[in-house]
Structure 1
Amino acid sequence: MGDSVRKGERLLVGEGMAVWAADKPGGLILEFADEAVCEAAFRIQQLLERHAVPTGFVERLGSRILLARRLELLPVEVVIEAAPGQVDVAFRAGGRTLDRAEAESLLTPDRLERIEDLAAHAARSLRAHLSLRGIAHLRARLRFGLTEDGACLLQVVNPLECELGSTDMRQVAELLGG
């Protein structure tokens, strides 16, 4: 992992990854269980960065490790589905789908609009890239958080929580890498 950033306390275990505090102020270490999943996550972040989607991604530290900004998590996540000519956005909290009024009760209307816009932009960017590789439909679970100064960012996307044309993460990484 290098000498510059070290793991602290394990904060949570998610699908195919663990999240650790980092000794770098404001940092988190995302350690993936598999190199191919980390590669796919890294390539998603690169693609989103090229399309000016603001994320919490900082840098890649190793074959299974990414460094991300620590964000204050928002209580609403977004599930996006993108197909030719359409992007559908659904809001979720606590494992259930929310209607817009419920989502606005958990966030301000402006903040909800911001994450909806960011999610749709991310979906269009990913789908445009994947459509060139024969993938017409994608689905992704996106989470958002706030920086200390209040900026809203997309968290690092876990490719295991997405449908990106294949369940083989090596193939997903290849689809995202071109």
Structure 2
Amino acid sequence: MIRIIAGFFKSRHLKTGKDRTIRPTQDRVKETMFSILGDIEGQRVVDLFAGTGNLGFEAISRGAVHCTFVEINRQSIEIIQSNAAELSVLEQIDILDMDAIRFLKSSEGADIYFADPPYRFPKLEQLFDSFLQLPEGTTVVLEAEKELAIPSSIQSKLTSRRIIGETSLNFMRV
């Protein structure tokens, strides 16, 4: 099981399911991520490739007013629904069963987008292009393998990059 590390739901555990292809963000990585983001109270967030909903629920615990979870795996969607019910935050979330890139093309905007695609994601270039279409001033946090090469088209949007073990956290302001 994974846990929420700070905020209103601090130390509450989240269900993860049995699918070993889902890699919830580790506590140390989450601590670094939210430390860099700072205060997110009142923000609207999107958790792309949501998996268990770990990042979105952490954001709600820290004061985000709404989270849209975007996920295509049926088991993951059920886990997110179960975790939301357990935390009594169903009114603060939307869960969309759709491809993250398709969602980004039609997104009306949020303050922060968390993206944790599968490692070696084959549509990474399309994902980066989709980030560039988001409203100006939007923050994007991309969690990826540490070897990830940031394309030149996005380099100027990169505000911070941290390596934690085998993981890179890439912060962008589009």
Normalised by the length of structure 1, the TM-score is: 0.27
As a proportion of its length, which structure holds more strand? Answer: 1
Say which structure, 1 or 2, has more relative contact order (CA 8 Å, 6+ apart).
1
> Normalising to structure 2: TM-score of the pair?
0.27
Larger radius of gyration: 1
